[in-house]
């Protein structure tokens, strides 16, 4: 896989390129007491558009930030001034946390060139690069979707793979949540994990807000019992860090990776879903 990352230096040199659009894809856990959009308005990379993960979503679903339909996605991101032919550069304000979810979303919807800013907002700020405040709007564009269903797994597929073993299931949540040692941050969810899933906490994939070297990722996945030559479905709390795990798996050489979009927000709320602790 070609690296999806661009450097701070690259972005700084291309900020005014009309075919480059920068997206602040920041999102925070429900218990983090942080407002990503308010922080964006206080200051962001010049020209960056705020990509609302909770807003560019299926608003008919009770589950958090589920993928919208291709038609709805086309309408929503077109209104943000994004076309499928642009180079889309995504960052977040934790270094590498929610940006991969936005990367995965655009890849699933058929964007031509999607990149993630290495080091994200923290590195940009640490280097004292310029920022600006306020809302950025862009002229409306046409985003022509080309939906890739192989990148997405639904409840039925995950349930079947959990039972038949035809795909590995990797859970990116912290180990205490995976093992039902602590309650879930979302109210009303049972604790535990999908039967026959493996735990690969997302914290093991990054260092100082950046993805670890490929060789380190490959060793980590081998140690955790994942076979990169076989299909893998990633899961987490609500599909955010599952996307980071999917990105890391693809960088390590996995060829067949899907994200369980509903993740534990769905599985842990369904009475017909078996749970292991």
Active-site residue numbers?
Answer: 236
CA distances to 99, 129, 131, 231 from 43, rounded to whole Å, are 17, 12, 6, 41
Which three-class secondary structure state does DSSP give residue 198? strand
Indicate the pairing of strand 210-211 with strand 232-235: unpaired
Copy the structure tokens of residue 232.
């893998």
Determine the Cα–Cα distance for residues 159 and 194; give it in Å rounded to an integer.
8
For residues 94-124, one letter each, b for 16 or more C-beta atoms within 10 angstroms of the residue's C-beta and e for the rest, the string is: bbbbbbbbbbbbbbbbbbeebbbbbbbbbbb
């Amino acid at each position: 896989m070609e690296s999806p990352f661009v450097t701070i230096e690259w972005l700084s040199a291309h900020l005014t390129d009309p075919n480059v659009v920068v997206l602040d894809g920041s999102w925070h856990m429900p218990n983090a007491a942080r407002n990503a959009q308010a922080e964006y308005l206080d200051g962001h990379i010049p020209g960056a558009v705020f990509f609302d993960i909770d807003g560019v979503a299926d608003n008919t679903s009770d589950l958090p930030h589920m993928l919208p339909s291709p038609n709805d996605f086309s309408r929503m991101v077109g209104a943000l001034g994004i076309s499928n032919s642009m180079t889309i550069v995504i960052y977040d304000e934790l270094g590498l946390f929610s940006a991969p979810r936005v990367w995965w979303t655009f890849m699933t919807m058929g964007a031509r060139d999607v990149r993630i800013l290495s080091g994200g907002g923290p590195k940009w700020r640490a280097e004292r690069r310029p920022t600006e405040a306020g809302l950025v709007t862009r002229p409306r564009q046409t985003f022509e979707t080309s939906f890739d269903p192989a990148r997405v797994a639904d409840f039925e597929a995950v349930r079947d793979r959990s039972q038949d073993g035809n795909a590995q299931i990797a859970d990116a949540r912290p180990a205490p949540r995976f093992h039902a040692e602590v309650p879930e941050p979302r109210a009303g969810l049972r604790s535990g994990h999908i039967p026959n899933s493996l735990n690969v906490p997302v914290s093991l994939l990054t260092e100082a807000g950046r993805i670890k070297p490929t060789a380190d990722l490959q060793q980590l996945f081998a140690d955790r019992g994942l076979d990169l030559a076989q299909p893998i479905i990633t899961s987490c709390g609500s599909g955010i860090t599952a996307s980071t795990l999917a990105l890391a798996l693809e960088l390590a050489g996995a060829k067949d990776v899907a994200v369980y979009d509903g993740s534990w927000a769905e599985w842990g709320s369904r009475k017909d879903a078996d749970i292991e602790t």
